[in-house]
Amino acid sequence: MEGIMLKKSRQLKRLLDSKQLEFLMEAHDGLSAKIVEEANFRGIWASGLCISASLGVRDNNEASWTQVLEVVEFMSDATAIPILLDADTGYGNFNNVRRLVRKLEQRGVAGMCIEDKLFPKTNSYISSEKQPLADIDEFCGKIKAAKDSQQDIDFCTIARVEAFIVGWGLAEALRRAEAYHDAGADGILIHSKLSVPDQVLAFMKEWKDTCPVVIVPTTYYSTPSQVFAEGGVSVVIWANQLLRSSISAMQRTSVKLYKEQTLLAVEKEIVPVKEVFRLQNADELKAAELRYLPAFDSSMQSQKE
């Protein structure tokens, strides 16, 4: 939009490499993506959980990868900041990953994060400890295939380590992170579902600054960001809070309207209709109509009363 805007992938790369702690905010459709941008965040996390939930399906690859692609295309079209797509396992093997990278680049998506689970995946917060992970070599093949396929030098591939999630310890987490880094990953997302940041901080202590590390503190939400910064984390993802806040609001509004049967019950608590139009950039279209549409010839309509 501005004259000298950085390409989105370059913007994401800079976030990863930034000296200060950076934040990505979750979005799940074009509208929420726009809201994240307007709140001044510098990047968007296109959450697999939130996209599937908003579609009305489960976070188990019930939506096809092209359905997810279409969602993220709408998100990308609506915004000028970079999007990191939560691409689950890559939706198949290395070959599916190659296709995905090309499709994401075309749509202006800045990067993707793939995780070392098996297809179809289960959400990390409900997966059990018994769940098998991807074979390390097979997953490294995916990362290599992704990096070899990108045509934009700045497209980012983040490798997500699920070792802690399924019950392994630090050694396994580090072993995987190192392998993925060696395979070419631009960053490591180290995931944990404890209510404290201990696993993540233990990992950071050993990892040092081998490459940028990304975290998702959904369950250890009470940890101050200062702790992450001091631990050496590069990027923090607020991974699902917009969706969750929209659920709270929509549940409240629908229950109220059902009970009270009048819009007066909610009108004051919700944005006006014209705010919807503003978010859709309706004014740009109005201006464009003046430029591109011939003046309406009212004689084409029969006379009004």
- Look up 186 and say whether it is catalytic: no
What the block records as the tokens of 220 is 């250890």
Q: Which of 163, 177, 245, 169 is nearest to 207 (CA)?
A: 177
Provide the terminal-to-terminal Cα distance of the chain, rounded to the nearest Å.
46
Binding a copy of itself by CB under 8 A: which of 6, 11, 14, 96?
Answer: 96
Q: Which stretch binds a copy of itself (CB under 8 A): 2-10, 51-59, 80-88, 206-214?
A: 51-59
Q: What is the dihedral of CA 73, 75, 78, 80, to 10 degrees?
A: -100
- The answer to whether residue 245 forms part of the interface with a copy of itself (CB under 8 A) is yes
- Could you give the dihedral angle defined by the CA atoms of residues 120, 126, 129 and 133, in that order, rounded to the nearest 10 degrees? 30
Give the DSSP H or E segment for 47: none
Q: Which of 142, 160, 176, 191 binds a copy of itself (CB under 8 A)?
A: 142
* Complex with a copy of itself: residue 66 or 210, whichever CB lies closer: 66
Establish if 80 lies at the interface with a copy of itself (CB under 8 A): no
What the block records as the tokens of 165 is 């999630």
9 forms part of the interface with a copy of itself (CB under 8 A): no
Give residues 203-222 in contact with a copy of itself (rule: CB under 8 A): 217-218, 221-222
- By CB under 8 A, name the one of 94, 155, 180, 207 that touches a copy of itself: 94
**Residues from 60 through 79 that contact a copy of itself (CB under 8 A):** 60-62, 64-67, 70, 74-75, 77-78
Shortest distance (Å) from residue 10 CB to a copy of itself: 17
Report the candidate in 187, 180, 92 with the shortest Cα–Cα distance to residue 144.
180
Number of residues this chain uses to bind a copy of itself (CB under 8 A)? 127
| 236: Cβ contacts below 8 Å, ≥ 6 apart | 21, 22, 23, 24, 214, 215, 216, 217, 225, 228
Of 17, 29, 59, 297, which residue is the catalytic one?
59
Member of 18, 106, 195, 210 binding a copy of itself (CB under 8 A): 106
